[in-house]
Structure 1
């Protein structure tokens, strides 16, 4: 028998959820983000994720081959957009490297604070160190390299030796990702204020004097505004 006119044909849902406008794959990611960050990754089954997404468990495997693949997609989603911003800022040679570094840090913090769930906390899972998450680590390494490239372009960074440059690059990425722990301790912290404070601190790591922060901050904000 043909389905009634107007009814969508597709994989059946295990239960109805309020209309979110999300595609089924995105529903799975949203459900997993909630469950992994509230109940824990180990304690969450694919069945629980499927039920929360309103799908049958068999339908979930149409989009992901398991729980690790879901986690990998969530983690990659926390770094890929920042890498795209980083590439644009590195290529924007007409602006001061310090302002571009400020803009990258600010954008990265806003991404890590985006959404209701603190996905960055999943970085700390021991499972993330396995080969199943090689793509996430590769993308994160490329993002770190962009931080380092912008650091080298700054007035003080150009004079740093290789070891000091590597250390400060580690500090820059570590500073940005420290908002994960801040957000976990204080979920109500204003992301906008946190992004500005973190980006200012990044320039201090790069050796920018306090008197130069305000104009570089303004230039960084203009760079971000131009990207929207």
Structure 2
């Protein structure tokens, strides 16, 4: 990229040749590139070029490309895992707690869209990616347990397989990364409301 090329959408002001970014800005640009080109196809040199920095200046902030990936995935996973431990997911009936988890997961996706997008593209090609996939499975298991609790309480149809229901729920939630655009016509809070309504109305006992 030359000095006359247009700035990437959403990237910080470039300061060529100087480490003029904080860690969060560098990470955001790296995630942007990982999503555009694929993690494996993106080099540290690519990230440095997008930022207008030398590789040595980039290493001022991060030790390796793997560290960038690890921290990016933590942004997504930490947010999702946190939803399960927040107050709305800990009180009320199982169905109410399930609704809170779904609403919170949509909120994380909206607030951390590039990071969740990257997480959903992980395929387990490295130790960092395999660890992320294991945490995703653990998250799914906890949601499945909540679905099954709601079934035992008679709030969710018992003819559904809990694990399958969880996969379908998050199939819907995760599809949002393909079309949702921050600042667009769809409000994040209304989106969360609509997803919860569609999911629970379809699962609720009659």
TM > 0.5 fold call: yes
Distance 1:208 1:182 in 2: 31
1:99 pairs with 2:87? no
Q: TM-score, normalised by structure 1?
A: 0.66
* Matched residue count: 188
Aligned 8 A contact 1:14 1:54 in 2? yes
Distance 2:199 2:77 in 1: 18
Root-mean-square deviation (CA, aligned residues, Å) is 3.3
Query: 1:91/1:109 Cα in 2 relative to 1: closer, same or farther (>3 Å)?
Result: closer
Quick check: which has more Rg, 1 or 2?
Answer: 1
Query: 1:134/1:89 Cα in 2 relative to 1: closer, same or farther (>3 Å)?
Result: farther
Deviations, residues 53-78 of structure 1 (Å, cap 9, x unaligned): 56542343455443233223212311
- Tell me the SS of whatever aligns to 2:180: helix
Aligned 8 A contact 1:35 1:44 in 2? yes
Determine which of 102, 123, 130 is the counterpart of 2:125: 130
Distance 1:26 1:53 in 2: 13
Aligned 8 A contact 2:31 2:118 in 1? no
Distance 1:153 1:182 in 2: 32
The equivalent residue for 2:170 is 173
The equivalent residue for 1:141 is 137
Higher relative contact order (CA 8 A, sep 6+): 1
User: For structure 1, which runs of at least 5 residues remain unmatched after alignment?
Assistant: 1-12, 210-228
Distance 2:120 2:146 in 1: 27
User: For structure 2, which runs of at least 5 residues remain unmatched after alignment?
Assistant: 1-15
Distance 1:200 1:78 in 2: 24
1:198 pairs with 2:170? no
Determine which of 58, 62, 67 is the counterpart of 2:65: 67
Q: TM-score, normalised by structure 2?
A: 0.72
Distance 1:27 1:130 in 2: 26
Determine which of 21, 44, 69 is the counterpart of 1:46: 44
Query: 1:89/1:206 Cα in 2 relative to 1: closer, same or farther (>3 Å)?
Result: farther
